[in-house]
Amino acid sequence: MKLETSIQEIKGIGEKTKQLFAKIGVYTVGDILLHFPRTYQQFPEPLSAEEAQPEDGACAVRGMLRQAPLVRRGKRMEITVAAAYRREAEPVELIWYRMPYLRSQLKPGVSYIFYGKLLTEKGKKKMEQCAVYDETQYAALRASLQPIYGLTKGLTNQMVKKTVSQALDAVKFPEDTLPAFVVEREHFPEENGTYREIHFPESFDRLLEARNRLVYEEFFYFLLGSHLQRQNQSAVKNSWVFPPVAEDDLVGRTAAALPYELTAGQRESLDSLRRDLRGECVSQRLIQGDVGSGKTVVAFLAMLDAVSQGYQAAIMAPTEVLARQHAQTFGQMLKDYELPYEVVCLVGSMTAKEKRTARERIAGEDALFVVGTHALIQDAVDFRRLALVITDEQHRFGVRQRETLTKKGAACPHTAVMSATPIPRTLAMILYSNMKISMIRELPANRLPIKTCAVKTEKRPTACRFIEREIGLGHQAYVICPLVEASEKTEAENVLEYGKKLRDFYGGRISVGILHGKMKPAEKNQIMEAFAAGEIQILVSTTVVEVGINVPNATVILIENANRFGLAALHQLRGRVGRGQDQSYCILMDSSGGEKIAKRLEILNQSNDGFYIAEQDLKLRGPGDLFGVRQSGDFNFRIADIIQDAGWLQKAASDVDKLLAEDPDLKEHMNLKRYAGIFMERNTYVL
Ligand code: ADP
Ligand code: MG
């Protein structure tokens, strides 16, 4: 079987299963091998019959039988009964249905491990249908790790495991996909073994080896592939003509009229963008600035530069809520500073007629601010003279989407992306080697650091009263819950119930609104607008507010089950407050009771600097956390994490450089060239 073979060729996969797999993006044998486990589970340490407690979930009980199991004939089946003892302790009753052969297999006086769910009935411990292992078997199981896969409704973990296992046995890997000098230097496992160990690791060490190879490989092909792509696209001449920048031109005058002074980073970014517009070639720039660093106004002023010269400038946001907010902010600024330009907004939830009008204006008018979401690029939008495209919070976009937009219009526009994910400069230069980079390191001077505290759930009523006090002062608050609605699988707060509870708690004194990803876009917009207008005082929401929302009057954010979020995500969420001049607060509700988590949350308490937070979080996480929270959503890497695996990224970058220095056209390495092509085709990366 080849990697490209359809998954249906695997035994036992019919039409229905095939469709389930399609839902998680698995179509071929290669795809299933690349469907890496989300995390791994280890068999628990065996306990004595005494120690084992029913609430432990699946548990392993070590014990022996005093006598051979008895087989009783039940109404419909044979029932095998035994009791597990350990010395004189209280026994655990063991029951199996339809397994009479156990009577001759299980020997009295031999130590076994019984694995299953422990229940109590009338004060007695019992286990039904548990698995039985001898000491050696169980020790091997303990060392191995069980894969837990990302699933979809109807697809079980067991089904995925079985399919992966069959694919591993059937597939033929072509020649090794990495250069021999790398494999030797790093002692990487060979390819077949790598995939086996990432899915069914024999031990944690093996898993790490496999992961390292896959991480390296991903970076290697990403860097090689993007180099090849760039080779094909030579620099495009800048066809837009801008007059030289002057202190007192429209952009300069507008910047001077702002109610605040731009920070040094904002000024530098704006100057660079303006210089780009006047450059010889079409430019691509990355602007990195932490949440709240004021990227929007930089975008506005750079766009004004283009629009005031009679061109169009567009900004794309990852969500409708954000797009509408930008449209509103821009419209307000145009009014406030008496600028004779208009904003056209184009988002998915607009009526067909509204969309048509917007499209007609984009196709027909010069000097226009265009604000939108994906709808901007998905549909056929003809830009009349688009000179600048800015992508906000770029990590939600894929490279293909940006390419489509870039092709619109006759001449190629300049592009800039704005990112709030703090990546150290050295890494940014490797990853975004095709872009110029600007950084906004400082927050506006009028900001007070957000006061952050982590509390246990008993303190919830105190927190609610604290929120009430802030609202009494005319402010607003966010409450973040991980879930939309109650779930059997996950124990965490949910927006629907929490909203109700809060309304009861405040007894109508405070208006509480809810927001989550399952709502219709129009409904979401309506809620966000009501919150921005101050009609809603507390917004209970999932992390849909994580990206970019700006309501400066909100001064408190309460994050429920904060222990479930990565520090980078918490930092992003916290950035929703502290955007105005008033003191803001972030309350992290820790539902875990774990020491380590308290320590992590403490880092947020110490700092408001996203770069620092990312660094510290790394230090605290051991290898066991490797498969935990992703630190950066900037790139859609399957397994690599740019912060955590920075060392591999640097190695891969220098290897790719070396390879290209020796063999610029990869004539000696045709297979690598081919794989790089396949790799870039298969993955959508943000470039
Ligand atoms: P982000 O970088 O997260 O996108 P925003 O652009 O939304 O941040 O800016 C957050 C808030 O800071 C806005 O209310 C904006 O008006 C304000 N702001 C931007 N620049 C400055 C500045 N130099 N001084 C004071 N406030 C500023
Ligand atoms: Mg923003």
Instruction: Report the 3 state secondary structure along 252-304.
Output: HHHHHHCCCCCCHHHHHHHHHHHHHHCCCECCEEEEEECCCCCHHHHHHHHHH
How far is residue 509's CA from residue 5's CA, in Å, rounded to a whole number? 62
User: Using one digit for the tens of pLDDT, what is the confidence trace for 564-600?
Assistant: 887 877 888 898 998 888 999 999 999 887 666 777 7
Give the residue whose CA is nearest to atom 15 of ligand 1: 294
User: Using one digit for the tens of pLDDT, what is the confidence trace for 201-230?
Assistant: 998 889 999 999 999 999 999 999 888 877
What's the confidence (pLDDT) of residue 624? 44
Tell the burial category of 618 from Cβ atoms under 10 Å away from its Cβ (0-12, 13-18, 19+).
Answer: middle
* Ligand 1 contact via 262 beta carbon (within 6 Å): yes
- Could you tell me if 579 and 552 are in contact, meaning their C-beta atoms sit under 8 angstroms apart? yes
Closest by Cα among 457, 541, 464, 477 to 506 = 464
Atom of ligand 1 at shortest range from CA of 262: 23
Please tell me the distance between residue 296's alpha carbon and the centre of ligand 2 in angstroms: 6
Q: Which ligand is nearest to the CA of 577?
A: 1
* Ligand 1 contact via 550 beta carbon (within 6 Å): yes
- Could you tell me if 197 and 210 are in contact, meaning their C-beta atoms sit under 8 angstroms apart? yes
**404, pLDDT greater than 80:** no
b/e map 205-228, b = 16+ CB within 10 Å: ebbebbbbbbbbbbbbbbbbbbbb
Which tokens sit at 120?
Answer: 């109590």
* Ligand 1 contact via 296 beta carbon (within 6 Å): yes
Instruction: Find where tokens 């700092």 sit.
Output: 607
* Ligand 1 contact via 422 beta carbon (within 6 Å): no
How far is residue 676's CA from residue 687's CA, in Å, rounded to a whole number? 15
Atom of ligand 1 at shortest range from CA of 329: 16
Strand-pair category, 78-85 with 70-73? antiparallel
* Ligand 1 contact via 329 beta carbon (within 6 Å): no
How much of the chain exceeds pLDDT 90, in percent? 47
pTM beyond 0.85, yes or no:
no
Atom of ligand 1 at shortest range from CA of 260: 24
The preferred substitution site among 329, 396, 555, 579 for testing ligand 1, maximizing ligand atoms within 8 Å of CB, is 579
* Ligand 1 contact via 584 beta carbon (within 6 Å): no
* Ligand 1 contact via 295 beta carbon (within 6 Å): yes
User: Using one digit for the tens of pLDDT, what is the confidence trace for 229-261?
Assistant: 777 766 788 989 999 999 999 999 999 999 999
Beta bridge partners of 415: 284, 389
The DSSP symbol for 4 reads T
* Ligand 1 contact via 446 beta carbon (within 6 Å): yes
Q: Per-residue confidence at 632, pLDDT binned at 50, 70, 90?
A: very low
* Ligand 1 contact via 579 beta carbon (within 6 Å): yes
How far is residue 291's CA from residue 578's CA, in Å, rounded to a whole number? 10
